[in-house]
Amino acid sequence: MRNLLTALVVSGVAASAAAQAAPATLTLDDAIGIAKKNNPVYQQQLSGRTRATLALRSAYGAFMPGADASFGTGYRQGKQEFFGGVAFGATSDIISSNWGLNFNARMSASTVTELRRARANVDAAEADVAAAEVGLRAGVVTQFLSALQSQANAALQDSLLTKVRLDLDLAKARVEVGSGTSLDVKRAEVAIGQQQVIALRARNTAEVDQLKLFQQLGVARPGPVELVPLTTVTSPSFELNQLLDIARKSNPTLQGFQSRQTAAAHLVQSARGAYTPTVSLGAQLGGYTTQYKNADFLVAQAQGQMLSSQASCFTTDSLRRGAGLSSIGAKCNAMTWTPAAAQAVRDANKTFPFDFTSSPYNLALTVSLPLFDKFGREQRLQEAQIARDNARYDVRRQELQLAADVTATWTSLQAAYRTVGLQEQNAAAAQEALTLAQARYRVGVSSFVELVQARNDYERASTDRIAAIYDYHRAWAALENAVGRPLR
């Protein structure tokens, strides 16, 4: 058992070490996909589309009647009140309930124009989301390229450290054969120390740039990650007029301004709708219950009313008999109070809380025409027209800026492509010069100073070549950002 546990632990440690030794890879497309799902700033910008969609739903809801329901209960103490010396109210406590349904609708010319304006605002919000996505992509690409460039510079400095150590070996070999000096050895040792510092700083810069990349993505770095480099440099195949045409059709920022111009035009129509009639419809339904807590009060009241009716009947009968008419005494004697009648009164009192008596329903139709509101309509109309004109100017300004940005980035891309070719030639020439300088120093034809100078020239040329390559890719990213969509 002990051997088995030991084997499991060793295999687990080996698997963990293998996982750490093989860092994950990350491509640019993967980085952009991660950022779309996790970048907090981008996620916040998505809420604008949600708000615009909700506003559109509310605009559709304006065509539907509003409705509200109510239900209530009440309690009244059984106590009479006196007004002008006359007692009102019952001596029994009263409980009651009621319900109601209200429907209302309001229609005007502004209702239709507000719907159109809400649709335009949704289009503007969609364009804003697309613009935010383009901006997010540009930010991720820029940081990804910075991390790649730092990574390439760190690899270059590591390779230069190897070359400096080779120079030290050459200097020691020359001292051993008597053709070199100890000063060359010391210079080579100093160069190694200096190059180690430079390589350490380059690796630290690459590490920091990668951390910033994952910050841009909106997630924590899971561990060592290898970025897939972008080394392909090809001649741009787009023409300037073609790019300008694509930008005018697909740039989300321009589309957002155009949608807001449309919304501003509908706002003017909505303001003019204040001069048109408004139709309002209303309907009300309801019911109520009233129940006396002391049902004997109602029984006594009903019994008193019956006795009063019977006494009135006997009075009428005596008058009829005095006038020689037939007697109605039998009818009067039939008016008697029975326990069944008392129970019927008690049963009729049991209405709380849901045995409602319907209230009369109400229907209303109103047509209103505003005549004068102290120049408020005129002010709102003028403000809407100013907003529409400003939106038109914003569209024109964005069109001019779009043309300038696309032209400038296209020109920069052309220059960056040609720069890569020149820097490739310079780096190749510097590599040949360094190889030649090493060979000359090995046979004692040149000095150590010339070798150091050749190595420095190679370092500058290689650094400039790396910078040119990633400046080319940054120029592509800037052009895609100006156009408003990916081009590769």
140-165 confidence digits (pLDDT tens): 999 999 999 999 999 999 999 998 99
| Cα–Cα distance for residue pair 34/219, rounded to 1 Å | 8
Question: CA gyration radius for the chain?
Answer: 46
Q: Containing domain of residue 483, as a range?
A: 24-64+109-277+373-488
Mean pLDDT across 178-199: 89
Contacts for 444 with CB less than 8 Å, ≥ 6 apart: 174, 179, 180
pLDDT above 90 for 295? no
pLDDT above 90 for 324? no
Cβ–Cβ < 8 Å for 18, 203? no
Mean pLDDT across 364-380: 91
Say how many residues make up the chain: 488
Burial class (CB in 10 A: 0-12, 13-18, 19+), 103: middle
The dihedrals phi and psi of 83, each to the nearest 5 degrees, come to -130, 115
Q: Write out the two tokens for 465.
A: 């070549």
pLDDT of residue 176: 84
Structural domain contains residue 343: no
Distances (CA, A) of 120 to 49, 107, 113, 260: 12, 21, 11, 7
Cβ–Cβ < 8 Å for 34, 150? no
| Cα–Cα distance for residue pair 254/398, rounded to 1 Å | 6
- Number of independent structural domains in the chain: 1
Structural domain contains residue 155: yes
Mean pLDDT across 181-191: 88
Structural domain contains residue 456: yes
Long-range contacts of 472-475 (CB under 8 A, 24+ apart): 472/233, 472/413, 472/416, 472/417, 472/419, 472/420, 473/141, 473/145, 473/230, 474/141, 474/142, 474/145, 474/416, 475/409, 475/412, 475/413, 475/415, 475/416, 475/417
Rounded (10°) angle between helices 109-176 and 47-61? 170
Cβ–Cβ < 8 Å for 35, 134? no
pLDDT band at 293 (very low <50, low <70, confident <90, very high): confident
Cα dihedral across residues 159, 162, 166, 168: positive or negative = positive
* CATH assignment of the domain containing 264: 1.20.1600.10
Structural domain contains residue 17: no
Structural domain contains residue 79: no
| Cα–Cα distance for residue pair 171/185, rounded to 1 Å | 5
| Cα–Cα distance for residue pair 469/148, rounded to 1 Å | 11
Structural domain contains residue 158: yes
pLDDT above 90 for 393? yes
pLDDT of residue 398: 95
| Cis amide linkage into residue 353, ω under 30° from 0 | yes
Structural domain contains residue 486: yes
| Cα–Cα distance for residue pair 40/30, rounded to 1 Å | 17
pTM for the model stands at 0.75
Structural domain contains residue 75: no
Q: Write out the two tokens for 451.
A: 């070798």
